[in-house]
Structure formats: structure tokens, C-alpha cells
């Protein structure tokens, strides 16, 4: 296995350390008991429940109180319209001590505005560029944790979520909405949050796998049509191009299963794999580079033991083209569980170091 680990370095970062008993509980659940909660099954129908259709935050969040813990859907699916309504409600009601938990978010994120600091605080569990300056200045927090362990914070009630804000597709004929390009840790938040509020978004690509949640699980919904948050590729440097070629030519064999992350090096490696055969994908992140390899027959997923024939990903980031490819594509399965790598033949993990 080849692994290049991603590390982000900050100065004057505010780290929020989990209490020691919770740190132990993540790894030794049987020895260190913590409070158990009944988890919601997102696929299940909640009999007799239909969400309230809200026109604004006043109607959508009227159950929200001080000290609430809120999860925000992230990545390309960041629900910008819903976040704005949430922010306006919190500020108008002068709510206090609201904690907003999230992984990387895209687009406007008013929760990190200086004037919000006495009302709501951003807590990044996997941070992105828009939160780095607030974290450096102490206006926002960062919890260092493996991405794969974040769901345990919710499922084991270490972080007791009162609300999850979600970007969802309109319900299909059976009442199921899709989480679109970002399942990642979101499904665990859905399972444990007391309330779900959704932004019904007709422009969200419909994905399969673990990406569905029944509309009857929601407390309220707001209609808000918006495109996914795109990320255009940047021009690779000569050094990055050479690194990608070295990895592709010397470390990745035919038939291997790939896990790729964010950054120029993974993009460069994918660009250099056109002569490989029968590659598989079971990955944290899906990006534009995978599409070309699928269309050229390089990625077949034929040798995968888990979900053979399928591309499995946790979240998708890329250009507008990648979301068109993703929409209603039976080849792609969105999943939150990527801990099956021991079952695969020749796994290669390609991530990125940022200094």
C-alpha cells in the first residue's frame, strides 16, 4: 500500500480536545461506557409524519434554543440558502452558545463572521479554506480527528446533535430524498440528530448507495434551488506532474483499487493512469480525473471484492461535469463506510501533503 498523508499546518490554531473519557470511548467502547441513544434509520418511514414546509427560518427553526448543537451538511452539497436562513434566525433571536459542527464547507458561510461569535461558533471536524483564518484568529474551533472516526462522535452520543441542516433532492415517488454528492459523515449525523431540516434542491444530483433519507424523517423543509459548489482544477506544476508520473508508473499495478483525496498530487496521478487496466475505485473522494478513466475503460472495478463493478465514494468534488456524470448514475455508489480496504487486492491510497 502506498500512502501519502494529508497534513494541514496552522499557526495559533484553537484546538478543541475531546474529554479524555470520550477519546478512550472512541477506541474502547466496551471498557468505557458512554450514554447510548436510539439511532434513526434514514431509509425507514416515520409513520404519520410529514415535514412542515417553511418559507423562512422563523418557521423552520422555531424549536431551536440556546446551547443547541447543530450539524451542517458540507462539501459540494453545502446548503447555502438554508445556512443563511439558520444564521438569520440565530442572530434575530439572539440565541447563545450554538455550536455548528461540520466538515469542509463551500460558498458563503456567515457563521464565521465576527459579529456571530457571541451567538454561534463554527467547529470544524475536517476543515476547509474558508474556515482557516477564523480558526487561526480564535473565532472558530478545529477538532483534530480522523475522518473515519467522526461518525462515532455522533453515534456514540459524544456530540449530542439537536439539529442537522441538509441539502437534499426533491423526494421521489416513494418519498426518498438524496444527499447528492456528500454522504461522508452526514449519514451518521442524520441517524443521531433530534431534528432534520432540509433544503429541497431540484439541482442536486441524485445519488444511490447510502445517500437516501425518507422525507418523513424531517421536521421542516425549505425550498431552495441552487447548483452544487464547483471546484475548477488548477494548472499542475512541472514538479507535481513528475510526481504523478512516478507514482503511476512505479507504484500502481494493474488491477489495483484506488483511494484518492483532495489536491494536485492525486489529480496528477489519475491523469497518468491511462495505460493501466482493470483498476477499481473505493475512495474518500471522487473527482473529475476518475471520469476519464471510467470512460476509457481503465476503471472497471472488476477485481473488487466489496461492491465489485461499482465505484464507491464518500463525497464528490469537482467541476460541473463531474456532477452531471454523477446524477442518477448506477455505476456510482455513495457510502459512509470505507473501512473495507483490508478486503481489496493491491490498495493504493493517494492523498496530499500541504506545507
Tell me how far apart the alpha carbons of residues 60 and 82 are, in angstroms, rounded to a whole number: 10
Pairing type for strands 195-200 and 220-223 reads parallel
- In the set 284, 295, 320, 354, the catalytic residue is 284
User: Residue 187 corresponds to which cell in the numbers above?
Assistant: 449519514
User: Residue 189, SS3?
Assistant: helix
- The answer to whether the beta carbons of residues 355 and 264 sit under 8 Å apart is no
Q: How many CA atoms lie within 13 A of 88 on its CB side?
A: 11
35 has catalytic annotation: no
Q: How many CA atoms lie within 13 A of 237 on its CB side?
A: 6
Burial profile 188-215: b = 16 or more Cβ within 10 angstroms, e = fewer: bbbbbbebbbbbbbeebbbbbbbbbbbb
- The answer to whether the beta carbons of residues 122 and 102 sit under 8 Å apart is yes
The set of catalytic residues is 284
Amino acid at each position: 500500500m502506498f500512502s501519502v498523508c494529508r497534513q494541514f499546518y496552522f499557526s495559533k490554531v484553537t484546538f478543541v480536545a475531546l474529554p479524555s473519557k470520550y477519546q478512550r470511548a472512541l477506541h474502547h467502547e466496551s471498557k468505557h461506557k458512554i450514554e447510548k441513544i436510539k439511532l434513526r434509520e434514514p431509509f425507514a418511514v416515520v409513520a404519520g409524519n410529514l415535514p412542515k414546509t417553511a418559507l423562512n427560518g422563523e418557521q423552520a427553526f422555531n424549536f431551536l434554543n440556546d446551547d443547541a448543537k447543530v450539524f451542517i451538511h458540507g462539501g459540494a452539497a453545502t446548503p447555502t440558502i438554508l445556512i443563511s436562513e439558520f444564521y438569520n434566525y440565530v442572530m434575530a433571536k439572539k440565541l447563545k452558545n450554538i455550536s455548528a459542527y461540520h466538515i469542509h464547507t463551500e460558498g458563503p458561510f456567515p457563521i464565521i463572521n465576527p459579529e456571530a461569535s457571541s451567538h454561534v461558533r463554527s467547529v470544524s471536524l475536517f476543515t476547509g479554506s474558508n474556515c482557516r483564518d477564523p480558526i487561526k484568529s480564535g473565532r472558530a474551533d478545529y477538532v483534530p480527528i480522523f475522518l473515519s472516526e467522526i461518525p462515532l462522535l455522533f453515534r456514540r452520543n459524544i456530540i449530542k446533535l439537536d439539529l442537522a441542516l441538509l441539502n437534499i433532492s426533491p423526494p421521489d415517488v416513494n418519498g426518498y430524498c438524496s444527499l447528492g454528492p456528500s454522504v461522508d459523515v452526514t449519514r451518521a449525523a442524520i441517524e443521531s440528530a433530534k431534528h432534520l431540516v432540509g433544503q429541497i434542491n431540484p439541482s442536486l444530483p441524485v445519488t444511490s448507495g447510502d445517500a437516501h433519507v425518507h422525507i418523513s424523517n424531517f421536521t421542516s423543509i425549505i425550498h431552495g434551488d441552487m447548483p452544487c459548489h464547483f471546484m475548477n482544477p488548477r494548472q499542475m506544476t512541472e514538479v507535481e506532474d513528475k510526481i504523478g508520473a512516478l507514482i503511476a508508473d512505479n507504484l500502481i499495478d494493474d488491477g489495483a483499487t484506488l483511494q484518492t483525496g483532495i489536491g494536485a498530487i492525486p489529480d496528477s496521478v489519475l491523469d497518468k493512469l491511462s495505460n493501466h487496466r482493470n483498476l477499481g475505485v473505493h475512495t474518500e473522494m471522487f473527482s473529475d480525473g476518475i471520469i476519464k478513466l471510467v470512460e476509457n475503460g481503465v476503471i472497471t472495478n472488476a477485481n473488487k471484492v466489496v461492491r465489485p463493478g461499482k465505484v464507491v465514494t464518500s463525497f464528490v468534488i469537482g467541476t460541473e461535469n463531474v456532477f452531471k456524470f454523477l446524477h442518477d448514475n448506477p455505476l456510482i455508489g455513495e457510502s459512509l463506510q470505507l473501512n473495507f480496504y483490508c478486503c481489496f487486492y493491491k490498495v493504493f491510497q493517494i492523498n496530499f501533503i500541504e506545507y
